[in-house]
Structure 1
Amino acid sequence: MTLAALIVFAAALMVTPLALLLQTGLLADGVPSLDPIREALGSRSVLRALLNSLQSATVSAALALIVGTGVALLVGLTSLRGKAVFTFLVLIPMMIPPHVTAIAWMQALGPSSPLLGTLGLAPPPGTPHPLYGRNGVIALLAVQHMPLVFLVVLAALRTLPREMAEAARVAGAGPARLLRRVILPLLAPSLLAAFALAFVSALGNFGIPALLGIPGRYTTLPVLIWQRLSSFGPSMLADVAVLSALMALIAIVVVAVQMILSARSRAALIGPPQPPLHLQLGRAQWAAQAAMVGLVAVTLALPMAALFGTALVITYGLPLTFDTMTLANFEQVLFRQSVTLRAFGNSTLAAGLAALLLAGFAAFVARFATGPRGARKRLGIGLTGLAETTYAIPGIVISIAFILTFLRPLPILGVSLYNTVWIIVLAYLCAFFAVALKPVAAACLQLDPALDEAARTAGAGWGRRMRRIFLPLVAPAAGSGAILVFLTAYNEVTVSALLWSTGTETIGTVIYNYENGGYTTLAAAMAGVTVLATIGLMALLDRLGRHLPPGVVPWRL
């Protein structure tokens, strides 16, 4: 029964939508072909958007790799003080929706910035916004995805045996040579994986390029797909399917190349993982502390201060003073605007339901993938790989795939899911399965197999062992995964940007529509509420992490 349910889940929500997308985008006269993509690339707008996407994804991923690796090395290997606090604060920008990040930075540096106006530093009215265009898109994509790199590299540092590093130190290698000759070569596969993850995430990012790129005439593929889908032309769906298939192929190729290069650069290590090095910073201690404080101030404190400053003024563009301060914008979005209340309800329903369902699916898939050899193990490994693939594919591509799949009423049932909140829930199940699976898989690897073997010897069947032994042990990790899914889906805009309709708005789409429609103070107020909710949920996960295996909650050291 469980096997059948997982197979139906994978076939209906992961394999079929993506297969239909590729079929629609890669068919010429009913025959599989790359001609539709070649024809699409013949358009100057498509080619320019593709080059902009590749440029912004590559450069921002490289910047995120440099900064994220540096922060991970500082936190993971040195005597830096306050590591847990810094780790928590560094990860918050990753949990904040990209379009909220863009809005916060737009309000922090523009000529109408309440924060700069209060400090008397605002540029003259009419001055072009410094973030509009290519450089702003690249900079904020790097800020958004630097925590991803940080997480991957920090996790890799925790698994490295320290014998080689200790031997190098005994032989007289200083910190710089130790880093260059030992640590970085051992981290090479993880660095490649981190770059690929940041690249794919930036490639599919919609919020930042839409808000900063459109005013600066710097269009990327996700924005072009959104614009084409809004055109409602006769060939609209076929056109966006071709562009979506192109993005999906790029993501798959990048992940495949990363896996090949990682396999070639992997070094065989002897010995179990041990606590990482604890290099004394000495005279550099204060410089390191100041650098981390500066990083948190620039990436988190500055934009959040600007965001809440905008939410607290009567009209956008006024400096924040006691005379211009008001809570009316928060009152408007929380109690008066029906669309915002509906959006909070829809997002809570969609994200909550997806989180609960994926926590259950993840427990069984992780159990199969880490269990004894057989059909169940092969299924578990296959579903794990499929989950990683769908997570790597940009969210806007997932949206197009689900539109193609559920545009018509369901066979036999005759029920249409299109233009309902349920299609958003199903898209979340596909897009965020890997998020729920990772902490559960990590917890499964730490379980003692002797428990299951003893129960089996005592005559307990598979179902009873799952209920009495496995599920209670992995329940905290499954809860952690559910909270991570909820955090990710609650504020997202990339997946729901093409799936929402009147009555099914989500928080992300309403914030974007407010900002795009010129209601900047309302957008800031609603974004501020979501930021506070995100931080509160992260704090809840941090408390839950005290009872979880090490490494399940990323920022708990």
Structure 2
Amino acid sequence: MADRGPLTLAAGRSIRLKGGEPMLVALILLYVLVTGLWPLARLLAEAFGPDDSGRVMGLIRDGLESRAARRALGNTLLASGGSVLVSLVLGTFLALALGLLRLPGRVAMTFLAISPLLIPSQIMALAWIELTGASSPILAPLGLAPAPGSTNPLYSGGGIVWLMGIEHMPLVFLAVRAGLAGIPADLVEAARVGGAGTLRITTWIILPLCLPQMLAGAMLAFSAAVGNFGIPALLGIPGRFPMLTTLIYQRLNGFGPTVLGQVAVLALALILLAGAALLLRATVIARLGFPVARGRRFTAFSAGRAEPALALGLWLLLGVLMILPIAALLATALVPALGMRLTLSTLTLGNFAEVAADPVIRRAFVNSLLLSLATALISALVAVPFAWLVAVRRNPVLRRLNALSDAPFVVPGTVLALAVILVFLPPLPLIGVSLYGTAAILLVAYLARFLPLVLRPVEALAQSLEPALDEAGRIAGAGSPRRVLRLFAPLAAPAIMAGAVLIVMTAFNELTLSSLLWSAGTETVGVMIFALQQQGNSTAAAAVSTLSLLVILTLAALVDRAARHRAPETLPWRG
């Protein structure tokens, strides 16, 4: 194919792009800039702007002087730091137990361990509220529920710490499990020959080797906790425990877009906290990580005679953490009114019939399904050429852009929602139409936030491919688009499918973005669950949550069946 001209970089180098590459590079660059980077840059500019009196950096000064902002910042640090301890203990213990011991049902237990990643935070919070309340369908019959009329103990800072710790525990679990996968069998066998037992090997060899992954997972959990909205909203607002994410939500709801500058400062605080955690994570990996001799990978220890007791203990722990709250949620959805015990005489499907007949709730399900499917499809279409240009063609422009494309996913969702409002609230240039109040603004935010979920697995697969395959296609005269479609895309199909399904499962119940961007007619499932609970209609909220979980579990089962034999490593519960 003939050259289409050089693309000159700021550093002075020129790269000759062939075939359709210049167009692909330009389109991907425009996509990433418009959906994510431009709004975030606009938000930062707003936060550093003057206040109404014209003082330089006046908005930041006002934020520092605000008592409410200082209180929310302190609560955010306290709750996020406390939740990290919960995540670190639970995630490390479960990763060691499921990663080091050959136990029956390990795949099912691993799925339960990472299920908080699949269950939206607002549903997790609602399930635990129903489990621990005075009318708990699980604890009340056992006499373990709080006294009637008393406040649910989860409506507090401690409740937020506990639930956010469970919510982000899989981040530590997956990080430690990745560290276990790199431990060579020769090292463990040498310790066994030296007379060390399983406990001593785990304590003195395996845990030190996994320490960088433990700390890295903890920092990732802190970053996620800082930006969590669903749990602080459902527990912190009624419990009078404000955090930065809920303060932003309350101010925007109370005053509208007129306070965008003020809440931009709060968003800047969230960015700094999350960024500091991620920077510390990178430092931990760089400083504490050390090479381990490669060789045969260690698989697991035999549990021996303790196998039944250990398996039972793990099932009980996972059952209390994951199954009991969902059972309480289902039981609440099956009774006519909150506080009634679930018996054969009170069991009813009336709540499901009620929500199914509600046109607003039906519209919310349709909106969420269409938005999640559109996000998955468009993200996959962008991720395939993006990953190919970065990993196979090693395009210098997109290699620089690649790291920045994670920014909308890394920053808290509340921050991205504010950034999108700032850019797309005014009428767009040339067409004079505002996206605010339409489904399009939700789609733009989803596209920016969820692109890495499919881009990263596709890029990882592209890195492992033999470069000679693409070179052979180029020598045969195939242009860039044809090589992407005919050579690369079929090979990347398992990673594309896994990433796309993960986007659908995540976006279908999304709340953080939607809570600030939705409007009448564009309600989503996450927004409806939150609204129903805020209105005191817990049984309807439980019914909608149960239906939403059914959708998630169905998708997980379908992708498990499709990838179990072809590419099990793409499934986090089988990898």
TM over 0.5: yes
Q: Deviations over 1:296-318 (max 9, x none)?
A: 21122111111111111111111
Q: Deviations over 1:339-381 (max 9, x none)?
A: 10110011111111011111122222222232254xx1x3443
2:324 equivalent to 1:298: no
Q: Within 1, Cα distance between the matches of 2:363 and 2:117?
A: 25
Aligned partner of 1:179 in structure 2 is 202
Given candidates 169, 179, 182, the residue that maps to 1:156 is 179
Contact 2:51–2:59 (8 Å) recurs in 1: no
Given candidates 447, 465, 481, the residue that maps to 1:463 is 481
Q: Deviations over 1:18-67 (max 9, x none)?
A: 00000001223799976633431322211111111111111112211221
SS in 1 for 2:392: coil
Q: CA deviation at 1:224?
A: 0.6
Question: TM (normalized to structure 2)?
Answer: 0.91
Q: Within 2, Cα distance between the matches of 1:166 and 1:2?
A: 51
Aligned partner of 2:215 in structure 1 is 192
Given candidates 538, 545, 551, the residue that maps to 2:569 is 551
Q: Within 2, Cα distance between the matches of 1:190 and 1:382?
A: 26
Deviates more, 1:152-161 or 1:210-219: 152-161
Aligned partner of 1:144 in structure 2 is 167
Q: Deviations over 1:453-493 (max 9, x none)?
A: 33334443333322221111101210110000110110011
Aligned partner of 1:3 in structure 2 is 25
Q: Within 1, Cα distance between the matches of 2:553 and 2:165?
A: 21
Given candidates 470, 477, 485, the residue that maps to 2:503 is 485
Q: Within 1, Cα distance between the matches of 2:309 and 2:482?
A: 56
Contact 1:67–1:146 (8 Å) recurs in 2: yes
Contact 1:443–1:549 (8 Å) recurs in 2: no
2:436 equivalent to 1:410: no
How many residues align structurally? 552
Given candidates 347, 355, 362, the residue that maps to 2:383 is 362
What stretches of structure 1 move > 4 A for 4+ residues in a row? Answer: 29-35, 118-121
Aligned partner of 2:336 in structure 1 is 314
Contact 1:117–1:320 (8 Å) recurs in 2: no
Deviates more, 1:232-241 or 1:96-105: 232-241
Given candidates 527, 534, 539, the residue that maps to 2:545 is 527
2:406 equivalent to 1:388: yes
Question: TM (normalized to structure 1)?
Answer: 0.94
2:521 equivalent to 1:503: yes
Q: Within 2, Cα distance between the matches of 1:249 and 1:339?
A: 38
Q: CA deviation at 1:326?
A: 1.1
SS in 2 for 1:27: coil
Give the CA RMSD over aligned residues. Answer: 2.1
Q: Within 2, Cα distance between the matches of 1:302 and 1:269?
A: 41
2:463 equivalent to 1:441: no
Contact 1:443–1:552 (8 Å) recurs in 2: no
2:301 equivalent to 1:286: no
Q: Deviations over 1:49-100 (max 9, x none)?
A: 1111111111112211221122112222221221111112222232111111
2:72 equivalent to 1:49: yes
- Structure 1: give runs of 5+ residues left out of the alignment: none
Between the aligned residues of both structures, percent identity stands at 43
Q: Give the partner amino acid of 1:16.
A: W
Aligned partner of 1:83 in structure 2 is 106
- Structure 2: give runs of 5+ residues left out of the alignment: 1-22
Aligned partner of 2:16 in structure 1 is none
Q: Within 2, Cα distance between the matches of 1:519 and 1:125?
A: 18
Q: CA deviation at 1:3?
A: 0.7
Distance 1:32 1:279, change over 3 A: farther
SS in 1 for 2:517: coil
Q: CA deviation at 1:268?
A: 2.2
Contact 1:384–1:434 (8 Å) recurs in 2: no
Q: CA deviation at 1:9?
A: 0.7
SS in 2 for 1:318: coil
Matches within 5 A, 1:365-380: 365-373=386-394, 376=395, 378-380=396-398
SS in 2 for 1:370: helix
